[in-house]
Amino acid sequence: MTVLVTGASGLVGSHVVEALVSRGERVRALVRPASRDAVVRLGAEAVVGDVTDVAAWDAAARGADAIVHAAAIVQRRASWTQYVAANVDATRLAVAAARATGARLVHISSVAVYGGTAAYPTTPECRSEDHPFQPIPDSDFYGRTKRMAEAVVREAAERGEVDAVALRPTVIYGERDRLFTPRVIRILRLSLVPRIGAGGNRLACVYAGNVAAAALAALAPRERGFRAYNVTSDGPPALSQREFFAAFAAALGRPYRPLPIPAPLAATVAGLLTARRLARAAVSFLSGDNPYSDSALSAELGWRPATPAPAAIARTVAWFVANEKPGR
């Protein structure tokens, strides 16, 4: 099977490439020139181009049996127009390529599509894929464009044009992460580490390797149409906030010395340092419990998060210490 992967030098895409190569599949990656060597080292054939360019898609998708579309702007200082181009218009081209070639499409979406200002409740809750969408603030370019992109995929599949699955991960960490993991490591190099709330909540994090395993499971033949799946768990044991950061600290070879901070105080302090909406979101994430269930993914596609959280954290930190040397 020939699989085209976009975003192949990014966090999810690179893990998808590694998983496909290890399974013996032929992997092609649509990448910008600066990322060519990185994806070749992972074992993919590089097709240089941009995901917003029709000609690049035509060249990259030719002969592909499946497409894993992971390219997106996640958290970057970019305009609304840039977010739409990268996250929505590029997805339209992914759909067009899948339609033209008959390739199965796996779209990497996000739980951000659910919206809502209190995304992570402080009491346990179970949200399946049928959980109703809530309003998304105008300023949340990422959430809005990811919802729009998923709608593009769903509508095309419902018209019978493509066979598609959308995967909705929570916050993703792992080797080659440029967002969450470096921040965690910087915080854990402090003498005292802020702990928001009691620390017994389960953070809404998932290892990129487990997301990649979900993408491979979604490539298996199934009835045509559209299906969305949450991807929100690592292999057991499930770690609390305290245990998650303690595991990161242990992998770094540092003591974990938490400094308890009440959530309201944390929100006030964070609001002085960044936008109020971002401050509220950060505190909600750190103090809230992961409400998103991925039981449907296990039941319907047989996916199991093969990598336990402690092992995933150890791998992640080892890669960063060897390659990024954070905090030095």
pLDDT at 282: 74
228 vs 117, which has greater pLDDT? 228
Give percent of the chain above pLDDT 70: 93
User: pTM for the complete prediction?
Assistant: 0.93
What spatial distance separates the first Cα and last Cα of the chain, rounded to whole Å?
43
Average pLDDT value for the chain: 91
- Tell me how far apart the alpha carbons of residues 17 and 44 are, in angstroms, rounded to a whole number: 7
Find residue 28's DSSP bridge partners: 4, 45
288-313 per-position pLDDT tens digit: 899 999 999 999 999 999 999 999 99
pLDDT at 64: 97
Identify the CA nearest to 209 among candidates 243, 247, 242, 235: 235
pLDDT at 239: 94
pLDDT at 120: 84
- Tell me how far apart the alpha carbons of residues 11 and 27 are, in angstroms, rounded to a whole number: 16
| Contact call for residues 197 and 287 (beta carbons, < 8 A) | yes
Where do the structural domains in the chain lie, given as residue ranges? Answer: 2-178+204-236
CA angle 233, 192, 174 (to 5 degrees): 30
**How is residue 31 annotated by DSSP?**
E
287 vs 226, which has greater pLDDT? 226
Compute the residue count for the chain. Answer: 328
Give percent of the chain above pLDDT 90: 77
Mean pLDDT is lowest, of 36-40, 219-223, 235-239, for: 219-223
Which are the contacts of 24, defined by CB distance < 8 A and separation ≥ 6?
Answer: none
pLDDT at 277: 57
204-229 per-position pLDDT tens digit: 999 999 999 999 999 988 777 899 99
Mean pLDDT is lowest, of 11-15, 130-134, 272-276, for: 272-276
178-214 per-position pLDDT tens digit: 999 998 999 898 888 888 888 899 999 999 999 999 9
Q: Does 77 have pLDDT greater than 90? A: no
* CATH of region 2-178+204-236: 3.40.50.720
